[in-house]
Structure formats: C-alpha cells, structure tokens
Amino acid sequence: MADDPQRNFRSAYYEKVGFRGVEEKKSLEILLKDNPLGILPPHSDSHALVGSYRKEQYQDILQALEVMRYISSSTPSTHVYLRMFQLESQTLPRCSEASLPDEENEDFLSISRAMEEIVDDPVDCYWLIKCFVNQFHTKFGDSVPHLPKSLEHYLSQEEPRLLNHLKNSGALHQLPYSLWFRRCFAGCLPECSLQRVWDKVISGSCKILVFVALEILLSYKIVLMGINRPEGVVKFLCNIPQENTDAIVTKAIDLWHKYSGTLIHAI
C-alpha cells in the first residue's frame, strides 16, 4: 500500500529518534519542522538524553500507579496508558471509581488500542498517545461539536438523496459521530488506512475527519439507501468492510482538496 506522500507521522518520528530505514519525504520534512506533536526537542543532539528522561518518567509513573494499586501486572496496556495520562493530567479518579470508565475514557482507550498497532515500544506508544490526545483536544476541542453539521452540509452537495433518506429514516442524528470525530476513526479503520487520516489531523486539519465520514457514506450509499431503521444504519457504519478502506481514505483526501478553498473548510 502506498502511503500519502505528504503525511506520515510515524516515519518522521522514528527517523528523528534514530530508527533508520523508514522513508521520509522532503515534503514531510517541511511539514514537521514545527514538530506538530511536540514530542521531539528542536536540537537533534539532545534527542537521546530527552529520550532517556522520558523513559525514566514513564517508569516513575508506572511504579507510582502500582504502589497506589491502580494497576497490576494483569492490567491491559491501554488501561495502563489511561491511568498514566490521568495521573499526569491530575484527573486520576478514586480507586473505587476507577473500574467504571466514562465515554471520554473510552475515546482514549480506542485511540490507545489503535496506536498500539502502529508503535511497538510502550514508552514511545504512551508519549504518542498522550501528545496526540492533548493536541487534538487543545486545537480542535471547540470544533468537534460542529463537525456533524459540516458533514450534513457536504453530503447535501454530494448526494442529497442519501441525506434525505438518512433524515427521513431518523438515522442522521444517530450516526456514529463519537467513533468518527472524537475517536478519529480508531476502531473503525484498520491501521494502514487510519495512520493516513491521523497524519492529516496531526498536520493541523480535523476537517479531514468530515470527509472520511462523507466518503464512507458515499461509498456505501446503495447499502444505506436499503436500510430503513436507524439502528441498522448505525450497526453497519460501526462495522464497515475493511478491505476497501484505503480507497475510501484516498477519495476522502480528494474531497478534502476539492473543498479546501471554501470558507466552511476553515475548521
């Protein structure tokens, strides 16, 4: 599978921390000059030292959580990342409440599971999850609630018949917006397609999420037009076939470029 030549945060990250052999395009080098996730220090000479500090910090947080009995050797790694993130962000719940993750925590866990498919090393994985989630909330937290309306707008431009069907069946307001927009398609798209979407998000556009959702609707419009109950629509969209997702993302990027000059695209 050919990656999008303009965005690939994994290759940039591994190249800059010293793992050679992963291709890094010139256009990507230009994109990442500002270090969009804030993971790497500006001077390459300090990467090894900072890496060792972050590993020590990771181990310190891990040990603290073990001492406080929030985690154990049997705790799933994604839940370990969640507790580490909560401890660092001062949102760690009481132990008696820690077994009941809320919806926001489920978003974090979904992103964590997807990131584990991309990154092997647990220290690197945690730092990428942490920085990705923080950046997304900081940059796009105010925009995310408006993305469903943007999706409706673009769907009216591309396929008004499908939009009307979704409205008339009551499915439009029950589409899996949390899966698409708050979890950035983690748990919906396989890693090979998901990383291309996340590259765009990291580079500064949460609107790519709208166009991926739009292209999913367009790609399966015949199926969706044949479903008249909203729960059937949601069930299908939460479990879309995985073999065609790379083509969907490619077409979504084309739509993103198509509408890139319009005012509503500014989110």
Centroid of chain to Cα 56:
27
Checking if the pLDDT of 252 tops 60, the result is: yes
Please give the average per-residue pLDDT across 170-197, as a whole number: 96
pTM across the whole model = 0.81
Distances (CA, A) of 59 to 53, 54, 56, 73, 92: 10, 9, 5, 14, 17
What's the confidence (pLDDT) of residue 29? 40
The more confidently predicted of residues 265 and 185 is 185
Confidence bin at 266 (pLDDT 50/70/90): very low
What's the confidence (pLDDT) of residue 4? 43
Q: Which two tokens stand for residue 262?
A: 């319009």
What's the confidence (pLDDT) of residue 100? 58
What's the confidence (pLDDT) of residue 263? 41
Number of other CB atoms surrounding residue 141 within 10 Å: 11
Distances (CA, A) of 109 to 23, 46, 57, 113, 183: 29, 31, 21, 6, 9
Q: Which of 244, 153, 148, 140 is nearest to 198 (CA)?
A: 140
Contact (CB, 8 A) for 179 and 185: yes
Please give the average per-residue pLDDT across 18-47, as a whole number: 49
Distance CA 253, CA 250 (A): 5
Confidence bin at 2 (pLDDT 50/70/90): very low
Class of domain 141-267: mainly alpha
Q: Which of 187, 139, 188 is nearest to 37 (CA)?
A: 139
Within 8 A by CB and 6+ apart from 185, the residues are 179, 194, 197, 209, 212
Centroid of chain to Cα 239:
17
Question: In this predicted model, what pLDDT tens digit does every residue of 64-111 receive, in sequence order?
Answer: 999 999 999 999 999 999 999 999 999 998 876 666 567 889 999 999
**Secondary-structure percent of the chain, ordered helix, strand, coil, rounded to 5:** 65, 0, 30
Question: In this predicted model, what pLDDT tens digit does every residue of 200-213 receive, in sequence order?
Answer: 999 888 999 999 99
Please give the average per-residue pLDDT across 37-45, as a whole number: 61
Question: In this predicted model, what pLDDT tens digit does every residue of 129-158 receive, in sequence order?
Answer: 999 999 999 999 999 999 999 999 999 999
Contact (CB, 8 A) for 13 and 39: yes
Confidence bin at 34 (pLDDT 50/70/90): low
Q: Which two tokens stand for residue 95?
A: 């132990």
Asked whether the CA dihedral 227, 231, 236, 238 is positive or negative, the reply is: positive
Percent of the chain with pLDDT over 90: 70
